[in-house]
Amino acid sequence: MITGLPEPPYVSVIFASLRPLHEGSILEDGYGAAAARMAELVVQQPGFLGVDSARNTEGFGITVSYWADEGSALAWRRNLEHAEVMRMGRERFYEAYTLRVATVHRASEFERP
């Protein structure tokens, strides 16, 4: 799915992460269930505009979530269930990650006619 284009400005949270590989496969560690639950919860957050996510077969993934403003992005960060999953992320889901908060100024889209 490609998230559509709200009118800028709005906030993007860019999360790049590396999942541990175990003998060439991504480890089953409860991540799938946690990710599904977060997908269910996040859409209920005020100010949530959408999310795009892709992970390759080497375990490297990028998730970009979009928010009406910094306050709504921050409120999601403070959601208790999400905070617990973030803790599990540092404990076992991710080898490493980067997190960036950025304000979208311009946006465009293309769709094959």
Length of the chain measured in residues: 113
* 78 forms part of the interface with its own copies (CB under 8 A): no
**Integer Cα distance of 67 and 10 in angstroms:** 6
- Placement of tokens 């946690």 in the chain: 34
Among 69, 81, 84, 95, binds its own copies (CB under 8 A): 95
Instruction: Based on the shown chain and the rule CB under 8 A, indicate whether residue 104 belongs to the binding site for its own copies.
Output: yes
* Interface with its own copies, residue 112, by CB under 8 A: yes
Is residue 25 at the binding interface for its own copies, with CB under 8 A as the rule? no
Q: Per CB under 8 A, does 36 bind its own copies?
A: no
Q: Does residue 90 touch its own copies according to CB under 8 A?
A: yes
Other Cβ atoms less than 10 A from the Cβ of 94: the count is 19
H/E element, 88: helix 80-88
Q: Is 21 in the site for its own copies (CB under 8 A)?
A: no
Which residue in the block uniquely carries the two structure tokens 């960036």?
100
| Positive or negative torsion for Cα 98, 105, 71, 31 | negative
Interface residues toward its own copies, by CB under 8 A: 1-5, 12, 14, 16-18, 52-57, 60-62, 64, 90, 94-112
